Amino acid sequence: HPVAVFSSSFHKMPSNQARVVILGTGGTIAGTAATAADGVGYDAAQLSVQTLVAAVPALSEVPLECEQVAQIDSRHMSYALWQLLAQRVAHHLARAEVAGVVITHGTDTLEETAYFLHRVLAPNKPVVLTAAMRPATALLADGPQNLFDAVQTALAPGARGVVVAMAGAVDHAADVRKRHSYRVDAFDSGEAGPIACIEEGRLRLLRDWPHGAALGLDGVAHDPATWPRVDLVTSHAGADGAMVRAMAATGTRGIVVAGTGNGTVHQDLEAALREVQAQGVRILRATRCAEGGVVGEAAGALPSAGTLSPVKARIELLLELLS
C-alpha cells in the first residue's frame, strides 16, 4: 500500500490551490553510492521522494504533495505495482485541485510503465514520468534537474497525457525508448521527435500533446496474479521453435516476436508461432530494429505490431487479453 508523505508546502497550501502530486517508486534517481565518483556501483531506490524534492530548493515555492508508492529498482517492476500506480494516478487526477502528477521511476522499465499508464488512463491532465541515469550522490547528479523539469512540465499550460521528462526533453509515452545504457540523455522518441524542449523551466512546444482513448481501470482491476502470461521472443540467425513451444506448454496466452528488419521471422520460429497460434495463443509481430515499425501487412502474415517496440507490443497484447 502507498505510504503518504506530505511535503511541508502541503501544510501551508489552501485546500483548493492547484498542486502537483509526486509519486515516488524508486530507481537510480533515488539511488546512493559509497563515493560520489561512482556512477554505476550504486544501490537504486534508497531515498524517499520527499528527500528528492528537498534536494531541489527551487521546488520549495511550488505547491506539491509527495507520496511514496513503492521503493524499487525498476527492473523488478511487477503487475501488482502497475495496478497500484494506475489506481493512485487516477485517484489524484480526479481531484480538482491537482494540476498533474509526476512519477519518479527507474530508467530501466520507464518506457513500459509510461506506455501502460498511457493506454489505461490516457489522461486529460499531465502525468510526467522522470528518472535519472546517475545516483543522487553522483558528482553531477541529473535527478534534481529532471525532477524540477518534470514539475514544470506538469504545470505547463495545455499539458496533458502520459509523457517522460528527461535531459531537457519531453517525450510521449508511445514513442519514447531508452536508447543508451549509460549516457544522461538516454531517452528519445526516434523519428517521432520530442513533444517539447525544456529550457530554464519553460517548455518550447514542438508538436501536440498526446491524445488517445483510455482503456480504463476495469480491465486491470483483477488480481495481478491472474493476469495472462505474454512472452517475448526474438528472431535471429539460427532461431528455432523450441522457446515458443516451451512458452505454449507453460500456458502463455500471447507471444510478441521481435522480428528482423520489417518484422520478418526465421522460418523455423515462424512455423512454431503458427502452430501455437492455431492452438489459441495470440501473436504480435514487431521489429527488433531501433527505428521504424513493421510497414505493410502481406496477406496471411502474422499480425503486425505496427510502430510499437517489442516491449510496448507486449503490453498492448497483455491489455487486449485483459479487456
Residues forming contacts to ligand SIN in the complex (CB under 6 A) are 26-28, 44, 73-75, 106-108, 131, 133
Closest CA to 276 of 303, 242, 245, 317: 245
Q: Does residue 28 have an active-site annotation?
A: yes
Q: Which is nearer to ligand SIN, 8 or 78 (CB)?
A: 78
In whole angstroms, the minimum distance from the beta carbon of 125 to ligand SIN comes to 25
Q: Which is nearer to ligand SIN, 40 or 242 (CB)?
A: 40
Q: Which is nearer to ligand SIN, 28 or 152 (CB)?
A: 28
Closest CA to 129 of 92, 97, 161, 87: 161
In whole angstroms, the minimum distance from the beta carbon of 93 to ligand SIN comes to 24
Q: Which is nearer to ligand SIN, 73 or 268 (CB)?
A: 73
In whole angstroms, the minimum distance from the beta carbon of 144 to ligand SIN comes to 15
Question: Whose CB is nearest to ligand SIN?
Answer: 106
In whole angstroms, the minimum distance from the beta carbon of 114 to ligand SIN comes to 13
Distances (CA, A) of 289 to 108, 126, 183, 255, 284: 19, 30, 20, 18, 15
Q: Which is nearer to ligand SIN, 139 or 221 (CB)?
A: 139
Which cell numbers hold the place of 301? 502474415
The catalytically annotated residue of 25, 28, 109, 130 is 28
Q: Which is nearer to ligand SIN, 74 or 235 (CB)?
A: 74
In whole angstroms, the minimum distance from the beta carbon of 54 to ligand SIN comes to 20
Return the residue matching grid coordinates 501487412.
297
In whole angstroms, the minimum distance from the beta carbon of 170 to ligand SIN comes to 19
Q: Which residues are catalytic?
A: 28
